Structure 1
């Protein structure tokens, strides 16, 4: 199921009004057009330091809460600065940029993630292969891998 253009516009309008937002990506099942009607909307945001945050105010939690009230759908927002390199790479390679086409910080962030990811890729591949071998032996206690 493809993300409704009205919902997409509400998301882009919401984030476009936030001065602290450098970029927002849609990722997951909605970006791949394989979402079901009950699927949530997965977003990843690149936030600069212009945000008015203090104490325990976590921007991605605030964004998710406010957006859920606007579009009446389950939303998950990740802060791209706080996720692992392989997750950030997956968002950049499989996701869709919704906000931030002209952002210099976004370009620098993408460059850094790609550089580090490809430096680390042999280690990621070795790790996945090791886990796969352990799972095949039945030592991982997981059903699918």
Structure 2
């Protein structure tokens, strides 16, 4: 009987966990948690930005991996900040997608992600309502696609942080915790995501 992807992943996790337990119990074992060094480096970098003397400088989108903003994009960021900063529930906000990477087409939306406080309780229309507010108050000809980043799939969050631009932050400590947590979880699950992708491609090709 052919095993499902979930069964394969569970067996793989169990086998790796058993192997690590045996190695860890051996004398002189120096096993490190997957991605530990990279997570530590990321945390130091994020906290280094928090220790900067200028809030405006430490959060400029030009410092993000997405690249350098031109004058028009900088105006967009300032407009986004002016609206988002009025929402007390927002911890941080990111511009991502084609707008952040400078590859927008005529039909491209402006993608915005917001991290909300733990005690925030947005209703099911929160994203649509806030997207409409941003589009209207910023006088944007393009539609705004806004996503709440809390509890989003880890692969999506990694793409936002890797290629997006931080445009607003209210709580630096919470932002650092969020970004570090996303990277750690992504590194832990990356091998299984690759296995899932391989199995999915195989099924698409062979139809079984």
What is the Cα deviation at residue 94 of structure 1?
1.1
Does residue 75 in structure 1 map to residue 144 in structure 2?
yes
Q: 1:92 aligns with which of 151, 161, 172?
A: 161
Q: Whole-Å Cα distance in 1 between the matches of residues 73 and 159 of structure 2?
A: 23
Unaligned runs of 5+ in 1: 141-145
Aligned residues: 136
Is residue 116–residue 148 contact of structure 2 (8 Å, CA) maintained in 1? yes
Query: Which residue in 1 is equivalent to 2:132?
Result: 65
Give the helix-richer structure, 1 or 2: 2
CA distance in 2, matches of 1:61, 1:49: 20
Asked if structure 2 preserves the Cα contact closer than 8 Å seen for 1:68 and 1:74, the reply is yes
- Partners in 1 of 2:113 and 2:186 — Cα distance? 17
Q: Output the aligned Cα RMSD.
A: 2.2
Indicate the residue corresponding to 1:125 in structure 2: 194
Residue 17 of structure 1, aligned match among 60, 66, 86: 86
The residue that corresponds to 1:143 in the other structure is none
Q: Greater share of strand residues, 1 or 2?
A: 1
Contact 1:24 1:44 in 2 (8 A): yes
Preserved CA contact (<8 Å) 1:19 1:50: no
2:179 to 93, 110, 119: 110
Normalised by the length of structure 2, the TM-score is: 0.59
Deviation of the 1:19 alpha carbon: 1.6
